Structure 1
Amino acid sequence: MAVVTFLKASNGLVKFIGLAPEESSNAIEFIQEVKDRVNVSLAHTNADYETVATAFVAGANHAVHLYNAMPEFTHRKPGVVGAVFDNKHVMAEIICDGIHIHPATIRATFRMMGADRMM
């Protein structure tokens, strides 16, 4: 796999790889392959809850820019936000500038995830 060669060549400098698991048919296998070398972050993914949960079980451990460019968190389709909540090993990054995310949503997300899982 070319990325594994790239990771070896980086000599440990690459720390994170971001991906949207719905964009590649081999995303889960890729996550399993690289999870011990780097942190795998779900980035601007439009995946549903089940796809994201599968990626987290495979070894992804981070979600970048929670809410942005992601499906909405609703009572019937919890999406990325719901999958992050259910997978306690996952860290969540959120943009707290008062523009990208409403301040009430920021407060609710910190309460939901716990401050120790938020970046």
Structure 2
Amino acid sequence: QGTELAQAAFKASLGSAGMIFVAICMLFFAFSTIIGWYFFGEQNVKALFGSKAVKVYAAIVVVCIVIGSALHVDLVWNLSDLFNGLMVFPNLIALLALSGLVAKAAHDKDIMK
């Protein structure tokens, strides 16, 4: 849908080079996104589980990339949305765990005024 529309628009103005341009841009976007999210996840794995767990994390990432590249694109986007939505739960747990500390800090700040 979106990709085909963009490629058709670029093809209309640039010919077949427009389709190649869109494909190359998407390749760079996908590659940089994978690298960025991998680095973000690696830092979190180091903080939570230590440096030894990074190798396991890297193996899981490689497996997910291979599987994701073989699946239908709609399924990959739906899984991406699902896992982004599941990030609500650890964030809610952290908010609840830190709520007392935040309330204390806000109270201490009011006393300083």
TM category, shorter:
under 0.3
Instruction: With a CA cutoff of 8 Å and minimum separation of 6, indicate the structure with the bigger relative contact order.
Output: 1
Q: TM-score, normalised by structure 1?
A: 0.24
Answer 1 or 2: which has greater helix percent: 2
Q: TM-score, normalised by structure 2?
A: 0.25
Choose 1 or 2 for highest CA Rg.
2
